[in-house]
Amino acid sequence: MNKDKLSVIIPTYNERDNMPLIIPGVSEILRGKGIPFEILVMDDDSPDGTSKAVDELSSSYPETRCIVRKDNRGLSPAVMDGYEHATGDIYLVMDADMSHPVTKVPDMYYAIAKDGNDISVGSRHAKGGGIENWPLKRKIISFGASSLARPLTSCKDPMAGFFAVRPSVIEGAPLKAKGYKILLEVLVKGNYDHKKVKEVPITFKDREVGESKLGSKVILNYLQHLVKLYLFPGSAPFFKFLFVGGTGMLIDLGLLTFMLYLLGDGKNDYLISQSISFAAAVSWNFIWNRFWTFDARKGSAGGQYIKFSIVALIAFGVRFGLTYVGVDLLGIDEQPLYQVLTIGVIVIVTVINYIGSKLWAFKK
């Protein structure tokens, strides 16, 4: 059997003293398992002589090379650059400071090479994972940061700096190196099967040598990055769906008012105005949902439009039906109860609309 080659990408800035730990650590374990590999140390021209330390190791560990970067410095750009230089069939990223257990590297590899996953994540929040020696402050920040990203991905540890991918996941994906959280960027924008993300539990150890480079600027950066990821087509579809639905409702009401003003407000006028404004709102929602909410531009637009309209009509019917049951059969007509009924009906109808859109009209 032809074995997949692993490219281990290690971004570094002032990690000289960690090189004699991480390079032998990773190399021995991969050699022991007979996994073909290369190690790319992506160093931002560290003043402490990180690259020299790598060169000194390279006679014993010829699979390792150091690439010294002088432009566009930073963690994410260094990782992206690593992807450009990598020659393997699977790319793995890990920190230089021994925070990520080298013993888990083979598991991360096998999750893709053997089990056929597209992405594997060294996860602190998967069952069996954890964090050692982290101060409370860091834990709180980390919890807050992952919570904000929750709607973007089902991965439990999207902030991890330890993960592996098939090259096809990132090839052609519009990844931006500015975002600090590169895994999150990959999870939102990458090309992969969402069921093929494997979380390998790890215990994250705080570094013993050197200092963390993540300061408060990183937090601000992260928040800006999050905004962009939430706006990216196809991410957090339920939020986008609600937003689009809200704008559609405004169009519906606005157009209805305008049509009634043009036509008058007899019973027929109302029916015509209502139908036109409903159709306009459905079309408006359709366009935004197709291109933005679900990023379903690859499917046939005509088929999607018909299905989406059917879903909207069904939801519309359910709305009337439920209101009829509530008001006429159950006799709900007092003020606060009527509002409660209406809210309940809107929630149910929204869920029907959403499920019909996601699982049927815009199904990929």
**Residues of the shown chain interacting with ligand GDD in the complex, contacts defined by CB under 6 A:** 11-13, 15, 42-44, 73-75, 78, 95-97, 99, 142, 159, 161, 207, 212-214
Binding partner selected for residue 78 from ligand GDD, Mn ion, none, CB under the kind-specific 5 to 8 Å limit: ligand GDD
| Residue number, 222 or 286, with CB nearest to ligand GDD | 222
CA-wise closest residue to 35 among 95, 98, 112: 112
User: For residues 121 and 93, what is the distance between their CA atoms, to the nearest angstrom?
Assistant: 10
* Beta pairing partners, 37: 6
Q: What's the min distance (Å) between Cβ of 351 and Mn ion?
A: 42
| Residue number, 209 or 313, with CB nearest to ligand GDD | 209
Binding partner selected for residue 96 from ligand GDD, Mn ion, none, CB under the kind-specific 5 to 8 Å limit: ligand GDD
163 and 199 Cβ atoms separated by less than 8 Å: no
- In the set 5, 65, 205, 207, which binds Mn ion (CB under 5 A)? 207
| Residue number, 52 or 73, with CB nearest to ligand GDD | 73
Q: What's the min distance (Å) between Cβ of 44 and ligand GDD?
A: 4
Q: What's the min distance (Å) between Cβ of 222 and ligand GDD?
A: 9
> Which residues have C-beta within 8 Å of that of residue 333, sequence separation ≥ 6?
327
Residue 4 per-residue DSSP state: P
316 and 248 Cβ atoms separated by less than 8 Å: no
86 and 157 Cβ atoms separated by less than 8 Å: no
| Amino acid at residue number 94 | M
Residue 160 per-residue DSSP state: -
120 and 108 Cβ atoms separated by less than 8 Å: yes
User: For residues 270 and 264, what is the distance between their CA atoms, to the nearest angstrom?
Assistant: 8
Q: Does 12 bind Mn ion (CB under 5 A)?
A: no
Report how many residues bind Mn ion under the rule CB under 5 A: 3
Binding partner selected for residue 15 from Mn ion, ligand GDD, none, CB under the kind-specific 5 to 8 Å limit: ligand GDD
Q: Does 15 bind Mn ion (CB under 5 A)?
A: no
Binding partner selected for residue 75 from Mn ion, ligand GDD, none, CB under the kind-specific 5 to 8 Å limit: ligand GDD
Q: What's the min distance (Å) between Cβ of 15 and Mn ion?
A: 9
Q: What's the min distance (Å) between Cβ of 244 and Mn ion?
A: 40
